[in-house]
Homo-oligomer: A and B are copies of this chain.
Amino acid sequence: MDRISTGIKGLDEVLRGGFPKGRTILVVGSPGSGKTTFAMQFLVGGAKAGDPGLYASFDQKPEWVKLDLASFGWELDSLEQSGKLTFIDATALKRRGQRVMEPETRVGSQVSLQIPELTLPSLARMIGRIAAEEGTQRIVVDPVTSLMLRYPEEVKRRRALLHFFDALESTGCSCLVTSEMRTSELERKFQLEEYLSQGVVLLHTMIHNGSIVRGLQVEKMRGISHDDQLRPYQITQAGIEVYPKDKVFEATLR
């Protein structure tokens, strides 16, 4: 199975060679666990290696996301201008009810989804169309959690998720989807997003003897053999770094 580098320091080693290519990977973590950093690092890694990427932002407008990540020195603007990175502003999906009224506008490689009657299916089609036009290799959807807000009814949410994951899969790109969830909650319930993804990476935040401890776990990764242990990670000045040889509680003793 073909592999692609994750762009996350130490993670390729955990995966014994990177993510499987062309699959949909879910990244799950609590607030502040670094999901957006993880996702953008994945795109930047690809862009620097020549793979155009697409970032669909459900919660934060692209300007804000870029501002939040500015300290990492990834030069997102220059990647965008060179066409290596395309931003889709899908925040309209979160705020309004079932539809938005304004027409789509496009400035440079940033697309603002203000098309009439924006729905999840139309967003899915648009992602597919742009990905095809731009020769996109990697897609990030950050975070899928917003669908919860639009679909309070479980049955409809379930159908929307199924449809949306299908649409991502049919692009042929390597996709990464983030989801906000506490790990304690994770231990309780069947989670549809996990089930629909070919890979699941958990970002655990634990309190151990009064200290916050962060650990990454590759819970599921179809098609490849990988390290399934909990490995410490940090959010450093250069982005997320995983320590593939350390154990979580030992790491807290440093």
State the oligomeric state as a number of copies: 6
Q: How far is the CA of A212 from the CA of B4 in the complex (A)?
A: 25
* Tally of A interface residues using CB under 8 Å: 65
Is the pair B220, A1 in contact by a Cβ cutoff of 8 Å?
Answer: no
- A210 with B194: in contact, given A158-B152, A184-B188, A224-B71 (CB under 8 Å)? no
The binding surface of chain A is classed by DSSP as mixed
- A32 with B228: in contact, given A1-B71, A210-B249 (CB under 8 Å)? yes
Is the pair B247, A230 in contact by a Cβ cutoff of 8 Å?
Answer: no
Cβ–Cβ < 8 Å partners of A31 in chain B: 194-195, 200, 219-220
A78 within 8 A of B: no
Cβ–Cβ < 8 Å partners of A159 in chain B: 97
A7 within 8 A of B: no
Is the pair B215, A229 in contact by a Cβ cutoff of 8 Å?
Answer: no
Q: How far is the CA of A205 from the CA of B71 in the complex (A)?
A: 33
A105 within 8 A of B: no
Q: How far is the CA of A198 from the CA of B232 in the complex (A)?
A: 25
